[in-house]
Amino acid sequence: MGDISHLLKPHIQKGVAYSPTALLRKLYELRDDYARLMGNELPFGISPQARQAAIEALDTAHLYPDSSYYELKKALSTYTGFPDTQIVVGNGSTQFIDAFYHGFLNPREAALFIPPDYGPYQLRLAIFGGTSQLAPRPPPDYTWNLDHVFNTITPATKEIILVSPNNPVGNCIPESEFKRLLDLDLLIVVDEAYFDFADTSLAHFIHNHSNLIITRTMAKAFGFAGLRLGYAITNPELADYLTKVVHHFPVNRITAAAAVAALGDTQYLNYVKKEIKAGREFLEKSLNGLPNVRAFPSRTNFVLTQFTASNADSNKISQKLLQDGIIVRDYTGKAGLVGQFIRITVGTQAQNEACLDSLRNAIEQ
């Protein structure tokens, strides 16, 4: 076999592929009843109406999807309150990440991030070969104060990407802070993947600001992590532009049909939101009751959990949880966090209780 390394791009060779669930296949060879509290998936499954619609859509699976996504955008329009001309659909909201680089960054222009935040943004920018600028929010609270952002902006800055509600911290950027960004002559992107759990959104700023794009996903509150469906909301001009950047047929027929049904099933969505909020409150309260454990207040379906004892070891704790059949995400040294952290997805009440029992044992040992 000949050497082909000269055919490859160095920054892609050096880049890291995001593979958060790669470990699972190995684990499931050992046992198949793990509580998956590591990926912010929905523990209750998709709406029964969405499931039925997906099954029926199999009858037309041999046909290309409607490339205008008329029905899907109409349903998203009703759900979001924005006209369909202001909505772009994607194969999960992460599909837009590449679009923000490919579609907007010229050579030597930079994207600015406000970590702690969602890892794929920086990973994909490295694969794209772009420059990242960081304006981290400081420990111990990681609250939003944008003075540091203004000091970090340079003539090279082209776009600012922020995640609110934030993953992994769980907090939202206050509108008073956010408003300061919108007058900048930059593209402002807000990832609102956890919007459905937060009861608050920055999307209304789209009415008066032409440089704002909001992305959301149905992977969380609607349980579409496996079906893959994200959407962006922006002004009509940017929506047309983004549609050109995103690959054609981003959403398959089965997912599109299921999404239309899921968006119409408000009863199921309300049930999900109520259960997740109750589970989140239970986790937050119980975790804060454990010694040397700090649960961050969350507007999402996960709880960032810090271990504050001087000898705390989040890796050891995660391994103990794993032995009890519970998978959480070890966040120590990741995403811009300083200290010992795990992130726990809100599961069913039985899973939440099992996680707490296991955690109690782990930190007592």
Ligand X SMILES: Cc1ncc(COP(=O)(O)O)c(C=O)c1O
Residue whose CB is less far from ligand X, 93 or 201 = 93
Yes or no: say if 195 and 171 are a contact pair by the CB < 8 Å rule. Answer: no
Cβ–Cβ under 8 Å, residues 159 and 212: no
Residue 171 DSSP symbol: -
Tell me the C-alpha distance between 307 and 313, whole Å. Answer: 8
Nearest distance from C-beta of residue 129 to ligand X, angstroms: 22
Q: Are strands 87-90 and 110-113 parallel, antiparallel or unpaired?
A: unpaired
What's the min distance (Å) between Cβ of 286 and ligand X? Answer: 23
C-alpha span between 339 and 307 (Å, rounded): 8
> Shortest Cβ distance from residue 273 to ligand X (Å)?
17
When the beta carbons of 89 and 206 are compared against ligand X, the nearer one is: 89
Q: Is 57 or 163 the residue whose CB approaches ligand X more closely? A: 163
Question: Which residues of this chain interact with ligand X, rule CB under 6 A?
Answer: 40, 92-94, 118, 163, 167, 191, 193, 217, 219, 225, 230
Asked whether the beta carbons of 85 and 235 are under 8 A apart, the reply is no
CB of 297 to ligand X, least distance (A): 17
Closer residue to ligand X in complex, CB, 92/347: 92
- For 107-134, the three-class secondary structure string (H helix, E strand, C coil) is CCCEEEECCCCCCHHHHHHHHHCCEEEE
CB of 165 to ligand X, least distance (A): 8
Task: Name the closest residue to ligand X (Cβ).
Answer: 92
Quote the least distance from Cβ 94 to ligand X, whole Å: 3
Residue 325 DSSP code: T
The whole-angstrom separation of Cα 218 and Cα 340 is: 30
CB-wise, 120 or 325, nearer to ligand X? 120
CA proximity to 112, closest of 147, 140, 154: 154
